Amino acid sequence: MKYLSVLFLIFAHALFAEGAPVTEQQFSFRIKTGNTDSVFQKIIREVEAGGGYFTNYDKNSLSLRIPVAALPAFQTFLGSLAEIEEKGFESYNRNAEIERLNIQIASAQKLLDSYFQLVQKASFGELQSAEREMVTLNARIDGFRGRLQAIQKRAQLALVRIDAAYRPPVRPAVNYYSPFPWIQATDLRSLTESFLQEENR
């Protein structure tokens, strides 16, 4: 557990370091609890109070988006609610995807600029055609920028999945000790057998 907490902190620092790779992180936990619904409700309240949110919630699983910097504290909180049986971690570098989107934005913007130059001296027919192309290019640029924002958001909010298994509640131990010495000295099994034999006569 201590190792994973250190890992959380390393990635939280690396995410915001200048020139650091943009990394999407995914964590998974398998827990045991006697009251899954109650535990999930407490988790959701804690995560929402810290700037995160849940994305999926059913009988035995819960998916969340949690700020990377809050992950160490979240793991501690989760361990206080239930027994953590298993943990998993995966990360995905999104720099190549970001670079590709930036190139697509630059290319579309360059083409859009050329249409701006064209419409200044275009005929009426050419103007209509150019305006349609400009609307299409603007929509494409907006789409690329939206995907960039989504990547940045996923890098800041780690995906956490929790799967729960039922753990029966622990019953308190029954104390069969008697303060009466004569009861302690009595063979209760033999006494019970003798009683049953008398009843069957």
Of 59-68, 125-134, 157-166, which range is least confident? 125-134
* Residue 198 neighbours by CB under 8 Å, 6+ apart: none
Hey, how many other C-beta atoms are within 10 angstroms of the C-beta on 164? 21
Model confidence band, residue 123 (pLDDT cutoffs 50, 70, 90): confident
Instruction: Provide the pLDDT for residue 127.
Output: 76
- How high does pLDDT run on average in the chain? 81
The answer, yes or no, to whether residue 12 has pLDDT greater than 60, is: no
Is the pLDDT score of 153 beyond 70?
yes
Instruction: Please give the full DSSP string across 146-180, using - where no structure is assigned.
Output: HHHHHHHHHHHEEEEEEEEEE-PPPPPPP----S-
**One-letter identity of residue 139:** A
